[in-house]
């Protein structure tokens, strides 16, 4: 059934257009470096990750969506936008029924995953060793940057620690020699079982779930999740085996006790931030009708 337009919170054109413009300006500022590097044929091991791994383009992030339950006055142009309906007065709003019909399985999975993640305490003893396990005893590295401790020193760090990665999308990039060293065997099918809020990749994935559920997710939430993912990626690479000091990134030396404390403290902060966004994302999902059984 279509959403009753009488149940919508109406935003006048000058209000929502100002919000959409401010959102687009913020995204433009955040993505200027990425777009310039593409023109110049340059890459960046930290800033490019969110665009290459998650494949959500800057232009898509710049599009502002209010989420369900909101009508946009004088928004005839959104008739051409996927996921929207426009009534005779020109008010645009999310096609909730159509969205749930198309994306109901994804909605149900994300709801289950976030609920399970929030139910667990964060674990803070992995120390970012997933990045080290991705180059362990490998002939080539994933990034064209030198290893801070060299090849033998990098391998020695992996061999001297218990690797305990809980995230499948990190674990699947482990080298064949590193995978058996992991304490867990995460799979795509066991993701709901293994996900925990201390994991940096799970924190970055809050952004993934937001954009995968566009346009049903408010863009303010998606942008907050992007900012969190960008901050997490910086720590991820500062704690990685690569030497990125030429780019201005001082390493978090997780092979030392001091570095481990620094890393775990940052993890705890990211856990607080990511859990707050998980709660908001679940709140946005609650504005959608019950999804079909999977």
155-213 tens-digit pLDDT = 999 999 999 999 999 999 999 999 999 999 999 999 999 999 999 999 999 999 999 99
The DSSP H or E segment spanning 153 is: helix 150-159
State whether residue 209 is helix, strand or coil.
helix
Residues 229, 226: Cα–Cα separation, whole Å: 5
Q: What is the pTM of this model?
A: 0.93
Q: Quick one: tokens of 200?
A: 């940096």
First to last CA, the chain: 21
Pairing state between β 92-94 and 70-72: antiparallel
Contact at 8 Å (CB) between 232 and 203? yes
Q: What is the pLDDT of residues 20-68, one digit of tens each?
A: 999 999 999 999 999 999 999 998 999 999 998 998 899 999 999 999 9
Nearest to 72 by CA among 4, 17, 1: 17
**Tokens 């023109």, located at residue:** 39
**What residues have CB less than 8 Å from 262, skipping those under 6 apart?**
252
Q: What band does 291 get if pLDDT is binned at 50, 70 and 90? A: low
- pLDDT at position 7, please? 82
Q: What are phi and psi of 182, to 5 degrees?
A: -75, 140
Query: Nearest to residue 179, comparing CAs of 189, 168, 190?
Result: 168
Contact 66, 52 (CB under 8 A): no
SS3 content of the chain, % helix, strand, coil (to 5): 55, 5, 40
Q: What percent of the chain has pLDDT over 90?
A: 90
- Residue 174 confidence (pLDDT): 97
Confidence of residue 289 (pLDDT cuts 50, 70, 90): confident
For residue 129, pLDDT over 60 is answered with: yes
Average pLDDT over residues 120-124: 96
């Amino acid at each position: 059934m279509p959403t009753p337009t009488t149940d919508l919170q109406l935003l006048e054109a000058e209000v929502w257009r100002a919000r959409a413009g401010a959102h687009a300006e913020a995204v433009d500022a955040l993505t200027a470096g990425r777009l310039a590097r593409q023109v110049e044929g340059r890459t960046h091991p930290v800033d490019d990750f969110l665009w290459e791994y998650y494949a959500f383009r800057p232009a898509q992030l710049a599009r502002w969506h209010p989420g369900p339950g909101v009508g946009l006055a004088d928004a005839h142009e959104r008739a051409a936008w996927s996921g929207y309906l426009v009534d005779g007065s020109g008010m645009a709003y999310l096609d909730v029924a159509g969205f749930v019909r198309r994306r109901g399985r994804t909605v149900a999975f994300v709801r289950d995953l976030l609920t399970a993640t929030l139910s667990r305490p964060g674990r803070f003893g992995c120390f970012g060793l997933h990045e080290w396990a991705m180059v362990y005893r490998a002939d080539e590295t994933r990034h064209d940057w030198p290893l801070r401790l060299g090849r033998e020193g990098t391998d020695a760090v992996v061999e001297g620690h218990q690797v305990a990665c809980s995230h499948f999308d990190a674990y699947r990039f482990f080298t064949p020699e590193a995978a058996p060293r992991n304490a867990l065997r995460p799979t795509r099918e066991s993701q709901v079982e293994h996900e925990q809020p201390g994991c940096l990749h799970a924190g970055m994935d809050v952004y993934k779930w937001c954009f995968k559920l566009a346009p049903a997710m408010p863009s303010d939430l998606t942008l907050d999740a992007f900012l969190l993912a960008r901050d997490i990626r910086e720590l991820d690479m500062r704690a990685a085996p690569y030497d990125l000091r030429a780019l201005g990134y001082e390493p978090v030396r997780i092979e030392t006790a001091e570095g481990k404390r620094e890393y775990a403290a940052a993890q705890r902060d990211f856990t607080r931030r990511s859990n707050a966004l998980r709660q908001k994302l679940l709140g946005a999902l609650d504005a959608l009708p019950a999804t079909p059984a999977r």
